[in-house]
Amino acid sequence: MPYVPSRMHLMLVLVASALLLACGGERQLSLQFAAQVRGEPLRCDALYEKIGASGSTLQLLDFKAYVRGVSLVRENGDRHPLVLEQDGRWQRETVAMLDFEDGTGTCNTGSPELRTEVVGYVRDFDDYTGVEFTLGVPPELNHRNVEWVDPPLNVPSMWWSWTHGYRFLRLDVRSGGNRPYVFHVRADGCTGTPDIGVKCSAENQGTLFLKGFVPGKSRVVFDVAALFAHTDFESSGDGMTDLVAGCLSSADDPECASLFAQVGLGSGPMAPGGADAFIRVE
């Protein structure tokens, strides 16, 4: 039985669209995203050298993310929502999916289709200077059985069965020595099931506000080299104190703190949006 969006969700989308039309002066916007490694495109058929504190080589295995609640921010701080185009594949209600792997090379478990934009309609002002969005899925949609939902929430590789919820960001790489290293952002401390309800101690959905955004000219960049700048790939996942090479969003995972800081979570030393940040505007 396919998932049917609730009347409330559909109403919110329709109301937002109606408000834009009523106020007049709307514009269509394609918000562009890109995945990079120090300015080079992140590709499935490339090898990237001298990454992280260990100076390791990296290859991409998978990279996808969900974004929601996209807004453009004016010079005076006013936020205006980007009402998403309801394409039935990559975007539905307020959620959009990004997919940076094309199924070639080392990404052989993926698919050939890429998605590097979020498309919608926004009030037409000429003084937008920032963009804001959340990496995540609305809590009311997060803990549903993936077999019963419509795109873009029907992607099995983004579903985390342990927590009955989604991976909001999934970045899998292979480091030197052919070792996998993963960064999965998802809710933590979850109990229950979709049938009776799921509660989590940490939703782990980071909201990012990026300055310097000019509609039609700027794009949002995910720089993998910046994300892993302080990561020691060679000592990660020793099988004793650190069971997994990478971060699976567990509260007791020692590698999560520095990575979380780059996606708007926690209180690490790196703030999103800077010149050397994982997520920034170019």
pLDDT at residue number 195: 83
Task: Give the integer Cα–Cα distance in Å for 117 and 100.
Answer: 10
Count of the separate structural domains present in the chain: 1
pLDDT at residue number 237: 67
Task: Give the integer Cα–Cα distance in Å for 104 and 252.
Answer: 35
pLDDT at residue number 23: 55
DSSP 153: S
Which domain, by its residues, includes 199? Answer: 7-281
pLDDT at residue number 176: 80
Query: Do residues 182 and 171 touch, judged by C-beta distance below 8 A?
Result: yes
pTM of the model: 0.89
Examine residue 158 and state whether it is found in any structural domain, yes or no. Answer: yes
Query: Do residues 192 and 5 touch, judged by C-beta distance below 8 A?
Result: no
pLDDT at residue number 240: 64
pLDDT at residue number 163: 75
pLDDT at residue number 157: 92
Examine residue 2 and state whether it is found in any structural domain, yes or no. Answer: no
Residues of the chain with pLDDT under 50: 1-5, 7, 14, 21, 268-271
Task: Give the integer Cα–Cα distance in Å for 204 and 104.
Answer: 31
User: 165: closest CA among 190, 147, 132, 130?
Assistant: 190
pLDDT at residue number 143: 87
Examine residue 1 and state whether it is found in any structural domain, yes or no. Answer: no
pLDDT at residue number 4: 43
pLDDT at residue number 269: 37
pLDDT at residue number 53: 92
pLDDT at residue number 229: 94
Query: Do residues 210 and 264 touch, judged by C-beta distance below 8 A?
Result: no
